[in-house]
Amino acid sequence: MKHVENGISLIVLIGFLISFGTTSAQAVYKGNHNFESTSQIFDIIEDKLMEDKEIIYDMREVIGSPYLTEEFVRGSLFLNEKNYGDYLFRYNIFRDDVEFKKDPYAPIESVKKIEGIVVKLEDNTKITVQTLTIDTNTYERKFLVEVVDGNYQLNKLVRAKFTAPKKAETPMSSDIKAKFTKVEEFYVINEDKIEKLGNKKKDLKKQFPDESDKMMAFVNKEKINLKKEDDLIKLFQYMNN
């Protein structure tokens, strides 16, 4: 009976996983770089570096990372609250991919963006799939990192923006190194409604009309900076009490 259950779980699991194929990065740049990557990341970087002319660039010089954390972290994969087992995970914020593998030597695979997917890591990071409104008629599924749980659930969308290296234009200026820059946007989920969080007081008043007096009192008293994650955590922990 146990083998049958495991077989059914495997069939369902395959339905929402996409294989990357191999763990090896087939790229022009090889050697010990400061991040391990899939071939797609190197392909995009290579395209950017080669747009106008060939630039020989040591990937060890890249500042920042395309990952939320450099190393894989053990965690559990859930679909609609059903646990499909423990894996090693790493969130690729450059491609918005949650990579995973069964063990350190297994091929890297990718979690498909399906509503109800949740990844819970041992470092207490929780990643979910949410459908975001891009504009009036455009919706897109994204991975969000949960920041505060509760009736007012605070989440963040984390991205890595890549800037190509640039040679100094004058003898007095310096070369610009290639870098990944982390960009964050915050979203609030309340009663199954998800909305991007504004970073001004007038935005909060508009987004939370029924709670605006309570929120503004706390913001003013605690001198909350709506652009800082630590301050937003304080605000939403307060709102959920």
CB 159 within 8 A of CB 152: no
What is the per-residue pLDDT for 94?
A: 92
The Cα–Cα gap between 100 and 102 comes to 7
What is the per-residue pLDDT for 44?
A: 58
Q: Which of 49, 38, 43 is nearest to 163 (CA)?
A: 49
What is the per-residue pLDDT for 19?
A: 38
- Mean pLDDT of successive 10-residue stretches along the chain, which has 241 residues: 41 44 30 43 58 58 90 95 94 94 93 93 96 83 96 96 84 85 95 90 91 92 95 96 89
The Cα–Cα gap between 197 and 24 comes to 39
List, in order, residues 6 or more apart from 187 with CB less than 8 Å away. 130, 132, 144, 154, 155, 156, 157, 194, 195, 196, 197
Alpha-carbon Rg for the chain, nearest whole angstrom, is 21
Q: Which of 180, 136, 176 is nearest to 161 (CA)?
A: 180
CA distance to 63, 116, 135, 233, per residue, from 11 (Å):
41, 17, 36, 39
Q: Enter the pTM of the model.
A: 0.76
The Cα–Cα gap between 130 and 196 comes to 12
Tell me the residue type at 232.
Answer: L
The residue count of the chain comes to: 241
- Written as six digits, the tokens of 41 are 């990341």
Tell me the residue type at 150.
Answer: G
Q: Which of 148, 86, 150, 165 is nearest to 119 (CA)?
A: 86
| Run of H or E residues at 98 | strand 97-101
- Written as six digits, the tokens of 132 are 């975001």
